[in-house]
């Protein structure tokens, strides 16, 4: 496994060298991703090893998430190659792929954290473009600041908690866990730490935005859950209700706030980004319930939301480019518009897509936790539904005399592929949910170690 | 203790520097002193890797400056950052110091196996980094804040039992990436401003 991570890393360096030769760098990037996906699929579950005393293990969740996230990356690379050539994107995608694999298989919390922060910093190069004409460099700088602040604060808290004896006063652990939770909220753009996400949504290229919200944000969420399990901090969280309350508050604020902001947005990208934030709020509530269904729902939401975000953001980018100075409309790119609407179905957790079980589990467990919490999550879902419906209505407000498929309809093809996969997953949810359930078991065992 | 004093003074020098090149040199001083603090677990290979990464990071920032005069005037931010960092270091040390029975060595020279010197340096660097990052107007001071925070984090990670060399390597790579991302932003912000 370490060899594959190294291969992706080295290919990223080579790709940086030849990044302006699109045919070479595109082929190289897709081939490396295909090799990595094949290797992950071929590797048996629970395969493990060690490098420089750093242990790794391919769990069921790691395999599932790796296939989904690397697959999403491959689709993104294909879309950029065909439709929106951006030189820096290819090496960035390969570096992110290496980071995703490392985060998923490493079992040392600080190592996971360090690799994650590295991965979150890499897209800074892809966020920045045509700096004289827009505020992309400001958006990239704000992202850099948030990642650095959250990343190093969280890592320091994690290191301190690992070096402390368990006989410390409870306030010490509360403080450290609170810092860790806030650090992850900063990286996940959870409300009220979402200001950089708002600027990113309007200023950076759609493909880079999809890379961040479609791949890196779900990876960050999975890393958060894994670090909680592996760091041994979960029993302290159970004993001290305040941390659980903080997680629930962040989750509810993100759910309702994200839905509210999505409802008020007129730009397609913002609708997609705020829907992601609302769904991450759902996922945070799921984790905060510290229950089996909540954890399964949370992880499922994080993964499916990433795929849906990729679908919607790529479609939004295509629609904006085709519309030029006008408002994006389905008349200029009907397949991309359909892909955006299809992504909306996944964002709201509509059946029969595989997005449904996650939302259902989290909302159900939230109701059993408290009536008002369940109601808040349902209201948030309704808010996202309204936002997505508004966006769809704006897209299809005008109809041409004859529908004509746009040239190079890559966003539509990617959208159709993602929708098909989510549909197949929804018809046969076991394959998707079982590895997540196995992780939930590990989580619950870490919660009550005896 | 001498190294702790050097860390404090060089941090103040980096914080107060108006030119990015002075800032980069001062940061290398901070990192060098911080990684040489001996808490009894100092390993040559780890020190060499960490110092090399700090040197690369400083060089990247030095080169990104382009010319001698380029930088960011800290103005009142210097005082805010210093006061906040001092207060936060004291508070962090009071609340987060591990309760160990080790004797604290306050000699000017020599190792401090209790780890107090390392912890104070780490808290100081983290607090300074946060204060600089939060008050920064652009990528010049933002990069310095991020690198100081990372150096503080490296000191704390060094105290955790586990795969020391692997973590040192990872954090060193991270430091280089932080410097590269910071330099990229510095160059682009400058291009956008001068357009």
Q: How confident is the model at residue B126 (pLDDT cuts 50, 70, 90)?
A: very high
Contact B153 A159 (CB under 8 A): yes
Closest in A122, A128, A145 to B133, CB measured? A145
| Partner B contacted by A132 (CB < 8 A) | yes
Tens of pLDDT, residues B147-172: 999 999 999 998 888 888 899 999 99
Q: What is the pLDDT of residues B76-124, one digit of tens each?
A: 888 888 888 888 888 887 776 655 555 666 666 666 667 788 888 999 9
Count the Cβ atoms, other than its own, within 10 Å of residue A421.
18
Helices A371-395/A241-264 angle, 10° precision: 20
Helix (H, G, I), strand (E, B) or coil at A170: helix
pLDDT value of position B105: 60
Number of residues that make up chain B: 195
Pick from A172, A152, A159: nearest CA to B127: A152
Long-range residue pairs from B129-134, CB within 8 A, at least 24 positions apart, any chain? B129/A152, B130/A149, B130/A153, B130/B84, B130/B85, B130/B88, B131/B80, B131/B81, B131/B82, B131/B84, B131/B85, B131/B88, B132/B15, B132/B77, B132/B81, B133/A145, B133/A148, B133/A149, B134/A149
d(CA B89, CA B116): 12
User: Complex ipTM, two decimals?
Assistant: 0.93
**CB contacts, 8 Å: A153 with chain B:** 126, 130, 149
- Cα gap A306→A220, rounded to integer Å: 11
Q: How far apart are CA A164 and CA A162, in angstroms?
A: 6
**Are B166 and A54 in contact (CB < 8 Å)?**
yes
pTM of the model: 0.94
Peptide bond connecting A250 to the previous residue in cis, omega within 30 degrees of 0: no
pLDDT per residue as tens, chain A (450 positions): 788 999 999 999 999 998 888 889 999 999 999 999 999 999 998 898 888 788 999 999 999 999 999 999 999 999 999 887 888 899 999 999 999 999 999 999 999 999 999 999 999 988 887 777 778 888 999 999 999 999 999 999 999 888 876 667 777 778 888 889 999 998 888 888 888 888 888 888 899 999 999 999 999 999 999 999 998 888 877 777 778 888 899 999 999 999 999 999 888 999 999 999 999 999 999 999 989 999 999 999 999 999 999 999 999 999 988 888 888 888 888 899 999 999 999 999 998 899 999 999 999 999 998 899 999 999 999 999 999 999 999 998 887 777 787 888 888 999 999 999 999 999 888 888 999 999 999 999 988 766
| C-alpha to C-alpha distance for B187 and B184, rounded to whole angstroms | 5
Best to test chain B binding among A141, A173, A200 (most B CBs inside 10 Å): A141
Of A111, A140, A160, the CB nearest to B166: A111
Amino acid A303: pLDDT: 94
Given a contact cutoff of 8 angstroms between Cβ atoms, the answer to whether A421 and A68 are in contact is no
Span B63-87, mean pLDDT? 86
pLDDT score at B81: 84
Nearest CA-CA distance, residue A42 and chain B, Å: 27
């Amino acid at each position: 496994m370490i060899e594959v991570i190294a291969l992706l890393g080295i290919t990223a360096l080579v790709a940086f060298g030849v990044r302006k030769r699109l045919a070479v760098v595109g082929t190289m990037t897709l081939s490396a991703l295909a090799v990595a996906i094949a290797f992950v699929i071929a590797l048996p579950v629970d395969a493990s090893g060690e490098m420089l005393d750093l242990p790794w293990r391919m769990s069921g969740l790691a395999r599932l998430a790796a296939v989904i996230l690397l697959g999403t990356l491959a689709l993104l690379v294909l879309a950029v190659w065909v439709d929106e050539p951006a030189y820096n994107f290819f090496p960035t995608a390969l570096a992110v792929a290496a980071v995703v694999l490392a985060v998923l298989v490493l079992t040392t919390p600080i190592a996971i954290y360090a690799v994650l922060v590295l991965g979150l910093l890499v897209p800074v190069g892809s966020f920045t473009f045509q700096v004289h004409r827009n505020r992309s460099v400001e958006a990239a700088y704000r992202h850099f600041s948030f990642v650095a602040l959250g990343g190093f604060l969280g890592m320091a808290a994690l290191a301190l908690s690992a070096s402390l004896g368990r006989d410390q006063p409870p306030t010490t652990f509360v403080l450290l866990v609170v810092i860790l939770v806030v650090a992850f909220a900063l990286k996940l753009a959870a409300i009220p730490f979402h200001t950089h996400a708002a600027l990113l949504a309007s200023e950076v290229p759609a493909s880079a935005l999809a890379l961040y919200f479609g791949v890196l944000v779900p990876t960050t969420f999975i890393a958060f859950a894994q670090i909680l399990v592996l760091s041994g901090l979960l029993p302290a969280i159970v004993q001290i209700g305040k941390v659980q309350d903080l997680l629930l508050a962040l989750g509810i604020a993100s759910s309702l706030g994200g839905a509210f902001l999505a409802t008020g947005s007129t730009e397609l990208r913002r609708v997609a980004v705020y829907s992601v934030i609302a769904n991450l709020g759902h996922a945070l509530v799921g984790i905060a319930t510290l229950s089996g269904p909540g954890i399964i729902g949370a992880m499922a939401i994080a993964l499916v939301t990433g795929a849906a975000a990729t679908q919607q953001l790529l479609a939004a980018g295509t629609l904006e480019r085709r519309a030029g100075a006008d408002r994006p409309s389905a008349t200029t790119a009907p397949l991309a518009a359909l892909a955006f609407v299809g992504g909306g179905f996944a964002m709201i957790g509509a059946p029969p897509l595989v997005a449904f079980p996650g939302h259902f589990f989290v909302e159900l467990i939230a109701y059993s936790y408290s009536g008002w919490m369940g109601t808040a999550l349902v209201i948030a879902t309704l808010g996202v539904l309204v936002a997505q419906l508004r966006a769809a209505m704006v897209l299809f407000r005008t109809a041409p005399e004859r529908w004509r498929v746009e040239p190079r309809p890559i966003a539509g093809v990617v959208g159709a592929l993602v929708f098909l996969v989510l549909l197949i997953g929804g018809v046969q949810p076991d394959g998707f949910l079982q590895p997540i359930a196995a992780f939930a078991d590990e989580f619950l065992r870490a919660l009550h170690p005896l | 203790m001498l190294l702790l004093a050097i860390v404090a003074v060089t941090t103040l020098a980096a914080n107060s520097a108006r030119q990015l090149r002075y800032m980069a040199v001062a940061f290398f001083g901070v990192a060098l002193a911080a990684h040489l603090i001996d808490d009894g677990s100092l390993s040559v290979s780890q020190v060499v890797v960490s110092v090399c990464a700090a040197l690369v990071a400083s060089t990247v920032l030095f080169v990104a400056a382009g010319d001698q005069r380029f930088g960011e005037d800290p103005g009142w931010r210097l005082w805010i950052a210093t006061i906040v960092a001092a207060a936060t270091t004291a508070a962090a040390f009071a609340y987060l110091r591990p309760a160990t029975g080790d004797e604290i060595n306050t000699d000017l020279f020599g190792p401090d196996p209790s780890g107090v010197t390392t912890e104070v340096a780490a808290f100081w660097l983290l607090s300074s980094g946060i204060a600089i990052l939060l008050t920064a107007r652009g990528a010049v001071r933002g990069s310095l804040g991020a690198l100081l925070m990372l150096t503080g984090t490296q000191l704390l990670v060094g105290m955790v039992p586990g795969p020391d060399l692997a973590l040192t390597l990872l954090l060193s790579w991270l430091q280089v990436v932080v410097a590269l991302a910071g330099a990229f932003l510095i160059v682009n912000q400058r291009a956008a401003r001068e357009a």
